[in-house]
Structure 1
Amino acid sequence: MPENVLKLAQRLEQARKPFVLATVVWCERPTSAKPGARALIQADGSVSGWIGGSCAQPVVVREALRLLHEGGDPYLLRLGASEAGLARAGPGVRVFPMTCSSGGVLDIYMEPHLPQPRLFLIGASPVVTALARLAPVLDFAIVRVDESGLLTMQPDERSAILVATHGEYDEEAVARALRSPAWYVGMVGSRRRAEACRQYLREAGFQESVIARLRAPAGLDVGAVTPEEIAASILAELVQVRRRQATQKPEMSEPASASAASATPATAIDPVCGMIVEVAAARQCSTYQGQDFYFCCPACKRLFESDPQRYLAPKAHATHER
């Protein structure tokens, strides 16, 4: 199984698909997963491999999806820690209590694999040459594009695009860039040239919300003059935009109707152990006082049904990060 997971990881990396590799590095019995157990979690929540049973896997998947969404460095995830285990947790360890009847503790190394962001440089100018030298320091993969390559370039949502053709084919390049899912589209040029390009986009039928994505003149206003200074100001803007997007939280929209507000949630909290349960796939469910409760395993369901009030009393299933 580990070999198959690693082969899948290789294929996903070649296809520029993000995933998280989760590996058990230590356990305190009894646990169903042992050191060396490994699973690969993709952005759609699918799991390949084995990382533990119904109490462990939902937390691992949830943490993997959070990591793919927010980004970040690898870290150690501890599941099922006792007070003693919590005290031994080192800095940077994320700890989730797990009180299912099976017990046990798992330390899982969460390793994100995100495709290297690409910076498409359109044109042949001194600024482009400077960016091609400097941008790899910030982990950008450089893709040089000329006019003949506009039709074949394939930027994705992890791509940034800079147009620096000095008026030769700015409008066509910017239009194609704005039709892509790239998170950054910039153009090197004067303010007058930038406004002329925006007017072209309006006349071509682009909506103002789409035109607003264009950053022109590209780069932070730091008084840059030389090609190298302009390139540095563009890199600074790329960092600024990327970090702001990483910290933005999606806005909660108002429910369209009362029925939408009362719709079944996608996930629920197991009232016994505090685990996240996928409602659609939940195999253990119980109804108490007209409310549905979902459980990660039969043991949690039995404990709840034996004394519901014990588990409905206010208590903290907190996540600890040391």
Structure 2
Amino acid sequence: MPKLDDPLGRAVELRGRREPFALATVVACRRPTSAYPGAKALIEAGGAFSGWVGGSCAQPLVLREALAALEDGKPRLLRISPDPDLDAEPEEGVLELAMPCQSQGALEIYVEPFLPRPELVVIGETPLAQALASAGKLIEFDVCVSDPGATAEAFPDAGVLLTDLEETTARLRADSYVVVATQGQYDEEALSAVLRSEAAYVGLVASTKRAEAVLHYLRESGFGLHELERLHCPVGLSLGAVTPPEIALSIAAEILQLRREQPVGQPQSTHEPLTLTPISGDSGERAESTVQPLILTPLPAAGGEQALDPICGMTVDVATARHTSEYEGETVYFCAAGCRQRFEQEPERYATAPR
């Protein structure tokens, strides 16, 4: 831990934690004053003050202006003297301040805010996730990638690699922008972890059909409409993107537009908005559909044993399947948590176990 009189050491610690602070540096002084050129102090967002820039006369002014700098993000030069020229033509970035005590000394103190850059949090290790990490660095975001298989070799542009969703959620703040890009591997688990965070943006990379299945799962899991309205899907501006780098660019453009508080809509996605099918507890009943039962038998495959998801009909690799359930003594494999959830609600409707 840095000492209280070690503002630079404290600055390193705060930057590592992505916490804002302001650094005040004495650039000139006229005696009598206890300060000296080069003296420094660090001011945290909560008002904590470490270092020394000149005793009880200057410190209250420095603290006030440092907190103001953290609020507006602008540096400023403070000219503190017993006889400030308050009628002079104002200079940009310069504040003329009266010394609040009976000292004849004068100080010039430069106050610079250090605000953490916004962070792009990419969940997944897909080619699109890799392209997103690179796009995040390009627009000068800090980049965090979360996935059990993420490596520095696959994500050279990520400053932070995490393998645990709980740890990922714990670091989310109001300046976090989250994109779930597992592309069907564990979308439901990822969104369940991040949707109730204070992140500024939560996006899901998915087709309309897949996204509707994910939304259905989340609503069945207890998420309300007001929480699901935070979810951006489809993600990205409508740029005609096809390849992973192009899609990543469109997502980065949307995030940048939102961050700069531009009206989202010029341009915006032309995809049809998702429709939330009513479920139990909402107005209306769950829509009925005709489902043909499937035989739950593995399919032979050159790459290893596979099985059919009885809900959507996708093939699932048995060795790496994340989502399974037991039915009449047989293991049933699913592509995603939403399919497993629907099956477990009415297993006899979706499957006929082999005899």
TM-score by length of 2: 0.59
What residue is the counterpart of 1:120 in the other structure?
A: 121
Q: Distance between the aligned counterparts of 1:220 and 1:104, measured in 2?
A: 57
Report the alpha carbon displacement of residue 130 of structure 1 after superposing the two structures with TM. Answer: 1.6
Structure 1, gaps ≥5 residues long:
246-322
Structure with greater contact order relative to length (CA < 8 Å, sep ≥ 6): 1
Q: Distance between the aligned counterparts of 1:211 and 1:69, measured in 2?
A: 31
Deviations 1:83-135 (A, max 9, x none): 65875975332443446432543221222233344322112333222222222
Greater helix proportion: 1
8 Å contact 1:2–1:38 — kept in the other structure?
A: no
What residue is the counterpart of 1:169 in the other structure?
A: 186
What residue is the counterpart of 2:340 in the other structure?
A: none
Deviations 1:47-86 (A, max 9, x none): 01122344432232222223333434x4423334856587
What residue is the counterpart of 1:150 in the other structure?
A: 165
Q: Distance between the aligned counterparts of 1:66 and 1:209, measured in 2?
A: 34
Q: Distance between the aligned counterparts of 2:68 and 2:100, measured in 1?
A: 23
Question: Structure 1 counterpart of 2:234, which letter?
Answer: P
Question: Structure 2 counterpart of 1:16, which letter?
Answer: R
TM-score by length of 1: 0.65
The worse-fitting range, judged by mean Cα deviation, of 117-126 and 93-102 is 93-102
Q: Distance between the aligned counterparts of 2:127 and 2:44, measured in 1?
A: 40
Which of 30, 35, 38 is the equivalent residue of 2:37?
35
Report the alpha carbon displacement of residue 219 of structure 1 after superposing the two structures with TM. Answer: 1.9
2:249 equivalent to 1:232? yes
8 Å contact 1:219–1:237 — kept in the other structure?
A: yes
CA 1:244–1:69 in structure 2 vs 1: closer, same or farther (change >3 Å)?
farther
What residue is the counterpart of 2:8 in the other structure?
A: 6
Q: Distance between the aligned counterparts of 1:81 and 1:102, measured in 2?
A: 7
Deviations 1:218-256 (A, max 9, x none): 2233343332222122112222232339xxxxxxxxxxx
8 Å contact 1:86–1:95 — kept in the other structure?
A: no
Q: Distance between the aligned counterparts of 1:91 and 1:69, measured in 2?
A: 18
Structure 2, gaps ≥5 residues long:
149-162, 263-355
Report matched runs for 1:1-322 at 5 Å. Answer: 4-72=6-74, 74-80=75-81, 82=83, 87=88, 90-98=91-99, 100-146=101-147, 149-153=164-168, 154-157=170-173, 158-244=175-261
Deviations 1:279-322 (A, max 9, x none): xxxxxxxxxxxxxxxxxxxxxxxxxxxxxxxxxxxxxxxxxxxx
CA 1:57–1:211 in structure 2 vs 1: closer, same or farther (change >3 Å)?
farther
CA 1:135–1:166 in structure 2 vs 1: closer, same or farther (change >3 Å)?
same
RMSD of aligned residue pairs (Cα, Å): 3.0
8 Å contact 1:32–1:53 — kept in the other structure?
A: yes
8 Å contact 1:81–1:95 — kept in the other structure?
A: no
Question: Structure 2 counterpart of 1:35, which letter?
Answer: P
CA 1:99–1:44 in structure 2 vs 1: closer, same or farther (change >3 Å)?
closer
Deviations 1:184-227 (A, max 9, x none): 21111234433443333232222333323222222233343332
Identical columns (%): 50
What residue is the counterpart of 2:286 in the other structure?
A: none
Question: Structure 1 counterpart of 2:192, which letter?
Answer: A
Q: Distance between the aligned counterparts of 1:142 and 1:204, measured in 2?
A: 30
CA 1:203–1:78 in structure 2 vs 1: closer, same or farther (change >3 Å)?
farther
Larger CA Rg, structure 1 vs 2: 2
What residue is the counterpart of 1:295 in the other structure?
A: none
1:45 partner SS: coil
CA 1:103–1:220 in structure 2 vs 1: closer, same or farther (change >3 Å)?
farther
Number of aligned positions between the proteins: 244
CA 1:54–1:231 in structure 2 vs 1: closer, same or farther (change >3 Å)?
same
